[in-house]
Amino acid sequence: MNEFMQAAIEEARQAVDTGQGGPFGAVVVHDGHIVGRGHNTVVGSKDPTAHAEVNAIREASRVLGRFHLSDCELYTSCEPCPMCYAAAYWARIPRIYRGATKHDAAKIGFDDRAIYEDLARPTVERDIPLVELEREACLEPFRYWKSKPDRVPY
Amino acid sequence: MNEFMQAAIEEARQAVDTGQGGPFGAVVVHDGHIVGRGHNTVVGSKDPTAHAEVNAIREASRVLGRFHLSDCELYTSCEPCPMCYAAAYWARIPRIYRGATKHDAAKIGFDDRAIYEDLARPTVERDIPLVELEREACLEPFRYWKSKPDRVPY
């Protein structure tokens, strides 16, 4: 058994044991060591973003003290949902190892197919309508950002 | 000027003022009141998931004490990226008001088109390879979850 996936599975079991959330776990590995662990805590922390991968990425970033994890790998007990996949993308994680598939997850009630389908639609046709409001005023902070010579890109 | 979008814009300005992150702000509104505010803090908190919408949703969930925000609306100074859109989806937010578009954001260096394109591809063809590992072992926590009569769906 791969030791890092084993750790992700232990996290997943812990989520169920403690009633914190769904049966999902993840770890972030840097240089052969686990630098971030996480399991789903949506129920326990009452935080809809607290998926295993997001929790593990947040911990790894805290431990390493940086927001780019381009020298790390993510091990997750189940294929990441679009939120978690995009989180890995923003973190520049170059490789993900996954255990169960999204089809396995759908069979126990966690189906993210609707989110995939929704993201592929034009914004006006999505399940969550995206309504334009005050666009011109919202461009002002963009100009402000561009005018700051010490801005940090990410 | 819409007062809630005005608040989102103030958050965006604050992100730039303080050097916390990109020029993005968001608020979550419940029953005519702001219950969550957030601006991008990726740089300041060294957290790649700390986008404005995620921060605002997390605060609103904490304030209201629940992980479903189906009676709330999200106001964001810029169209949400796939991570933030999926976060709103998981939170069951039924409507999003957005100021700037993703095209406006791309012009100042924040381009999420690659993430959209990537999410539309089969997992084996993605920018971040998804490698299967220990799938059978990862199904065990799923069975454990199904066996728990007190599990909380979300």
- ipTM reported for the complex, 2 dp: 0.97
Paired sense of beta strands A72-78 and A96-100, if any = parallel
Tell me which of A10, A11, A53, A79 is the catalytic residue: A53
Residues of B in contact with A15 (CB under 8 A): 141
Chain B nearest-CA residue for A129: B95
pLDDT at residue B124, as a whole number: 87
Give the C-alpha distances (Å, rounded to integers) separating B25 from A33, B80, B93: 35, 10, 17
Does the beta-carbon distance from A130 to B82 stay under 8 Å? no
Distance between start and end Cα atoms, chain A: 36
The residue among B124, B60, B59, B51 whose CA lies nearest residue B83 is: B51
Cα–Cα distance for residue pair A21/A44, rounded to 1 Å: 6
User: What is the number of residues in chain B?
Assistant: 154
Does the beta-carbon distance from A131 to B98 stay under 8 Å? yes
Cα–Cα distance for residue pair A111/A113, rounded to 1 Å: 6
- pLDDT tens digits, residue range A89-100? 999 999 999 999
Cα of A113 to nearest chain B Cα, Å:
11
The mean pLDDT value for A11-19 works out to: 97
Cα–Cα distance for residue pair A131/B2, rounded to 1 Å: 13
Cα of A154 to nearest chain B Cα, Å:
7
- pLDDT tens digits, residue range A46-101? 999 999 999 999 999 999 999 999 999 999 999 999 999 999 999 999 999 999 99
Catalytic annotation present for A53: yes
- Average pLDDT of chain B is 97
Does the beta-carbon distance from A138 to B12 stay under 8 Å? yes
Give the C-alpha distances (Å, rounded to integers) separating B141 from A43, B55, B103, B145, B150: 17, 30, 42, 6, 15
pTM score: 0.97
The mean pLDDT value for B93-105 works out to: 97
pLDDT of residue A43 exceeding 90, the answer is yes
The residue among A46, A39, A43, A32 whose CA lies nearest residue A3 is: A32
pLDDT of residue B85 exceeding 90, the answer is yes
Q: Which two tokens stand for residue B7?
A: 């608040």
